[in-house]
Structure 1
Amino acid sequence: MRKRKTLNSKHKTKNEKKKEEEEEEEEEIEKIEKIQKPKFSLAHSLYQKKFILLLFLFRIANSYLCQTFADPDEYWQSLEVAHNVVYGYGHLTWEWITALRGYLHPLIFAGLYYFLNLFGLDENRFIFLQSPGVLQAFFGSLTDFYTYKIAKHWFGYKVANFSLILNLSSWFLWFYSTRTVSNSLETTLVIIGLYYWSNSPHVIFKSRKKISIAIFLFSIAFMIRPTSAIIFGCLGLWSLKKLNNWNHRLKFLFVVVAPIFLSVFILSTAIDTIMFKRPTIVFWNFLKFNLLSGNSEIYGTHPWHWYLSQGIPAILTSFLPLLIFSIWLQFKNSNLGQSFLNKIKSKKNKNNNNNSKNSSINKKNTKNQYQNKDQKKNKNRYNQKIFTSESKSDFYMYQLKKKKQNEMKKNKNRDNNRNGNRNRNRNRNKSNQNDNKYINYNPKVSNYYPKSNQNSSTSQMYLIFFIIIVNVFVYSLLDHKEFRFILPIVPLLLIVCSFSLVNFSEPKSTEEKSELIGHRIFFWSVLILLILIQVFSSAYFGMVHQRGRVTVMNFLSDEANSYQMDNKEMNVMFLTQCHATPWYSHIHKNISMSFPDCSPRLKELNNLGKVPDSQFFEDETLKYVTKKFANIANYPTHIVTFDNFWLKMKDFLESKNYRICNINFNTHFPVDRELQKYVYVLCKNE
């Protein structure tokens, strides 16, 4: 019987051996995590709550200090739709007529508006305007918190601490985290889902709670923005690859993923069907319009390399060198990188050997010429023996052997001393298990992972790179590109950047204290300089750049209140490009407002063959204005325009008794068109 067992154990398949090895690794990891992770304690839970609260307060300050205009979707695809749902008035863009957008995201803010209306808080203008930013600040704080948890769980405390510093100081996350664009909520859902997603194929079926939470969050993100399927697809392919058995793969797809995804899909479709008052599948309309029909060109086209040449460099700015160095470290420590570097070294060694051979031949010729002189000089100290050229080479070999033996003895003594020191410090290390979890630092990237979880950490590293590369590749294939499209991978990029900071944070040799202190001063001074560049960018883009588009609506809101007090009708005409400012969700008054329409030429809109009003206005401003005023019985009480358009129609509007009554600074440099430095409000003289 014993012989049969040994024979069966020898003839095990490769898959069975892999499974056994993976199960043993997971058991070891679980044991270590049980030792390292304390049981539930009130102090630990309070610490986490305080941590989230601090991040939430930071993002509230972020939302208050971010007072500029970023993207029309911040208002027109979320707050404006929610305002229309709750208060019954608000402009719906052409995307909502063709059902390219879903109501799942705007209904979050509709619930907020309903709550404010229920308790009469919407009458306070400050509360009404700041409450959506506070809600989005909560989502942004969750993004920061779970980014930190991902970095800590996968790569250790050092990487987590530096990634938190980079997240909180990033100008791009400051600019977008608290805005009500769907990309911000998508980022939150993706990061939390990524934390709960287990990379181990065996844990998928053991702990269904975490993987179910992850799939639920990814399903919601997909219904809000179908492009989040790129990240979800990357994770799915990664997990399916690790599941060696097809039965497990089918079980994962149809038992774990399908029920949760279908339930969220049915709920989202039911909401859209009720709101649109017709059966609609929004994500299919979105994919059909943008990908299959190729209509994404309507919003503008960019070259294929835009994200690599402009997008990521602008998003990271001063953190870009950290990303480049982290990529180099990972490539250097990978099998491909090591083979590539070994080939280069071998070529160099061949060249050096050829040069040494040529030089040795020349030396032999010279030695034979001066052999008599060498015999006189080369005498042994002890026996005064004279060495010839042949015996001299033997003597050199003898000396080399002695040197090697001495070096071996020294290394053995060092190892013995190290082992002795380790045994002495074992009791000290027991009390600091949690702090020393990720010690064993080495400048190489692979060695600042935890010892126990080193293999899983390297796989998580490859997973992050896989998600980033696939996202950038897929988005580069689309004609229309924007910075905010890759917002969900920005926290992952900052985690990768933190690898460089861990590498630079400690010197390679710490023999002298003066060198260590000098290295740390240099490191932190450089890091503070990089952060200051980010802070300056955050302050400028959050409080200065395109500020006039928002402040002009504050002036119009005050004017609407005064007109309402005097029982007068207010009529505002926007002679600007379409969607240039916030709308009813900012004024919160049911007054008459109009702007040049920019809907694309589509069969669904019955406007084929017509030139868009916005294009006609920008190309021939004066003709558009004269035609517009010829068809109006009652002239508007207020006109909003930019300084570049004002110069083209100044004489005509002054002849109609309009004067500048409010000036708002907008920007210092042009964005997508000629410079629009100021926003003017023209009031009609009675």
Structure 2
Amino acid sequence: MRFLFFCALFLLRLFNSFTIETFFQPDEYFQCLEVAHSLVFGYGYWTWEWREALRSAIHPLIYAIGYKGAQILLSEDLAVRIAPKIVGALIAALTDYYVYKFARVYWQNDTKAVLSLILSVCSSWNWYVATRSFLNNLEMLFTVIGLSYWPWHQYRLMLLLQASFYGFLSCIIRPSNASLWGLLGATILLKNYMNFSRLMRLLLSLSIVLLAVLSISAAADRYVYGYWTFPLYTFMEFNVMKNLLIFYGSAPWHFYLFQGIPLMLMMYLPLYLIACYRRRSHLLVWYGLLVIGVYSCIDHKEFRFLQPIYPILLLLSADTLYHFRKWRRLIITTVLVVHVPVAFFFTRIHERGEIDVVKYLRDEESVSSIGFLTPCHSTPWQSMLHRHDLEAQSWFLTCEPPLHLSLGTLEHMKAYRDELDLFFDNPKKFLKDFRRPWPSHLVVFEPMVSTIEKNLGQYKECSRFFNSYFHWDSRRSGDIVVFCRKGK
């Protein structure tokens, strides 16, 4: 029965995964699929984070296994196209399943568990994000598995160790998740500090589990990087000691409160707020709020950074829905009326040009080289192109951080100009001084079309793809346009 239940969830997430035709953020490709593609097929772009060994290899290795398995059964081109979709659907389906299990364990109520699952499946945010190859989705999966094993109501060492295994894994792949697991661990230690023998057994057992996780991580890193390294240290050195994380932008402290949580929860927001008030004595409420508080203190903020605690928000929302028995059907109907169009728009319409243009370049025989005069990593690369013949002569603008700095400050960041900044500061001068070979095809966003037409007379517009009605980055607004060399 459980197997059939999971298969149904997997089929649903497969449909979800294969119907996504839009671009969200570069990390979906450049922090996972490019590395996985390189491991299996021998070529792909490694960003500076991978060249500097900042990231755990566990995440792309999972997708590399997916590529390899699909390659055995299918043609290489088909394997490249569908393997990430299948792996993403598997991760999302497992997350849905463990949201149900977590709710059942925590609330000790089957109806609340079912409602939590319904909210997970009907979430427009999950439909948009959960099947993509983001590290945060794997982080969310490991977290919710750990929470489903956590001994919420009675101390049980084996359950605690199982939960800790997944908790340690989630922290290895993204160290900031230690804020949640540190709070959970502190709670257990405070409850048992008077029982010395139990405390010693617990600490010894946790040490063994941690050693096992570190061994798995070290083996994965050794395989991917080709040498022994400890990405957790380099990650902390870059983000904490040097504070270079602010190179990728900073947001106000209230970003998650007034943008992140409302956008991720949408119609669930009133349910969650009511639960926070009604269940204010529950530690689960405070775990979520404290993690949001910790993340709010970090300069660089993104919506998906809250993925690990999203199941907690869903469980609390489901608790409120459970108590609104008379209004439950109306609430769920209202959720669907709002969430389905939102999910459709963001998975099928908004920013689809960034995917469509790469498919065009992949399949167009006249393309012998490509140049992207766009904000860096605005489209997928070889993980979708899968054309080795384009590797040597193709390029895109880069945005490498100032790794030479010993400490990142806002003043340093404003003074530093990467290649992307130099282009948008003075496009005419940049194009005149450009030192790379001009390709057969150039890709730009609509705001740069007139600049290309005025300064590069050897090119003409040959294709155009709708991308967005609106965009937070004005440089990416409008259509995405392909220019071809005249005569091609």
TM-score scaled to structure 2, two decimals? 0.93
AA in 1 matched with 2:53? A
The percent identity for this pair of structures is 33
2:187 counterpart of 1:235 = no
Q: 1:482 to 1:50 in 2, by over 3 A?
A: same
Deviations 1:578-614 (A, max 9, x none): 0110000101111132011100111299xx9973110
Tell me what 2:481 maps to: 680
Q: 1:56 to 1:636 in 2, by over 3 A?
A: same
**What is the deviation of 1:622?**
2.0
Check conservation: 2:115, 2:318, Cα contact below 8 A: yes
Check conservation: 1:216, 1:260, Cα contact below 8 A: yes
Check conservation: 1:84, 1:90, Cα contact below 8 A: yes
Which range moved further: 194-203 or 497-506?
Answer: 194-203
2:138 counterpart of 1:318 = no
Mapped to 2, the partners of 1:478 and 1:202 lie a distance apart of 33
**What is the deviation of 1:626?**
2.0
**What is the deviation of 1:314?**
1.2
Q: How does 1:22-101 map to 2 (within 5 A)?
A: 47-101=1-55
Check conservation: 2:352, 2:468, Cα contact below 8 A: yes
2:128 counterpart of 1:175 = yes
Tell me what 2:211 maps to: 262
- 1:225 pairs, out of 161, 174, 191, with 174
Tell me what 2:296 maps to: 476
Check conservation: 1:546, 1:667, Cα contact below 8 A: yes
Check conservation: 2:19, 2:347, Cα contact below 8 A: yes
Q: How does 1:556-635 map to 2 (within 5 A)?
A: 556-559=361-364, 562-563=365-366, 570-590=368-388, 591=390, 592-603=393-404, 611-628=417-434, 631-632=435-436, 635=438
Tell me what 1:151 maps to: 103
**What is the deviation of 1:104?**
1.5
**What is the deviation of 1:183?**
0.5
RMSD: 2.0
Q: 1:116 to 1:142 in 2, by over 3 A?
A: closer
**What is the deviation of 1:529?**
1.4
Which range moved further: 105-114 or 483-492?
Answer: 105-114
**What is the deviation of 1:130?**
2.0
**What is the deviation of 1:164?**
1.6
Q: How does 1:274-673 map to 2 (within 5 A)?
A: 274-331=223-280, 334=281, 462-506=282-326, 523-559=328-364, 562-563=365-366, 570-590=368-388, 591=390, 592-603=393-404, 611-628=417-434, 631-632=435-436, 635-653=438-456, 655-656=457-458, 658-673=459-474
Mapped to 1, the partners of 2:361 and 2:69 lie a distance apart of 25
Q: 1:535 to 1:48 in 2, by over 3 A?
A: same
Q: 1:272 to 1:675 in 2, by over 3 A?
A: closer
Mapped to 2, the partners of 1:317 and 1:671 lie a distance apart of 19
Mapped to 2, the partners of 1:492 and 1:194 lie a distance apart of 9
Mapped to 1, the partners of 2:55 and 2:2 lie a distance apart of 36
**What is the deviation of 1:212?**
3.1
Tell me what 2:113 maps to: 160
2:201 counterpart of 1:251 = yes
Tell me what 1:13 maps to: none
- 2:90 pairs, out of 138, 144, 149, with 138
TM-score scaled to structure 1, two decimals? 0.67
Mapped to 1, the partners of 2:343 and 2:225 lie a distance apart of 39
**What is the deviation of 1:277?**
3.8
Describe the SS at the equivalent of 1:92.
Answer: coil
Give runs of ≥4 in structure 1 deviating > 6 Å.
none
Mapped to 2, the partners of 1:610 and 1:478 lie a distance apart of 21
**What is the deviation of 1:182?**
0.6
Mapped to 2, the partners of 1:308 and 1:610 lie a distance apart of 31
Larger radius of gyration: 1
List gaps (5 residues or longer) in structure 1: 1-46, 335-461, 507-519, 564-568
**What is the deviation of 1:269?**
2.1
AA in 2 matched with 1:603? H
Deviations 1:454-480 (A, max 9, x none): xxxxxxxx2321320121011011000
AA in 2 matched with 1:636? P
**What is the deviation of 1:299?**
0.7
Tell me what 2:409 maps to: none
Mapped to 1, the partners of 2:133 and 2:156 lie a distance apart of 36
Q: 1:652 to 1:220 in 2, by over 3 A?
A: same
**What is the deviation of 1:201?**
5.6
Mapped to 2, the partners of 1:288 and 1:675 lie a distance apart of 32
**What is the deviation of 1:108?**
1.1
Check conservation: 2:100, 2:116, Cα contact below 8 A: yes
2:143 counterpart of 1:190 = yes
Check conservation: 1:642, 1:676, Cα contact below 8 A: yes
Deviations 1:165-218 (A, max 9, x none): 2111111111111000110011111111111121356422xxx2x333322222
Check conservation: 1:215, 1:257, Cα contact below 8 A: yes
Check conservation: 2:453, 2:460, Cα contact below 8 A: no
AA in 1 matched with 2:146? G
Check conservation: 2:89, 2:131, Cα contact below 8 A: yes
AA in 1 matched with 2:374? T
Deviations 1:612-654 (A, max 9, x none): 11011122122212221xx35x53100011001112332222x
Describe the SS at the equivalent of 2:137.
Answer: helix
Which range moved further: 193-202 or 115-124?
Answer: 115-124
Mapped to 1, the partners of 2:69 and 2:116 lie a distance apart of 36
AA in 2 matched with 1:147? V
Q: How many residues align?
A: 475
Mapped to 1, the partners of 2:227 and 2:241 lie a distance apart of 23
AA in 1 matched with 2:315? I
Describe the SS at the equivalent of 1:580.
Answer: coil
Mapped to 1, the partners of 2:242 and 2:139 lie a distance apart of 25
Check conservation: 1:575, 1:596, Cα contact below 8 A: yes
Mapped to 2, the partners of 1:267 and 1:158 lie a distance apart of 37
Q: 1:141 to 1:470 in 2, by over 3 A?
A: same
Mapped to 1, the partners of 2:239 and 2:93 lie a distance apart of 32
Describe the SS at the equivalent of 2:165.
Answer: helix
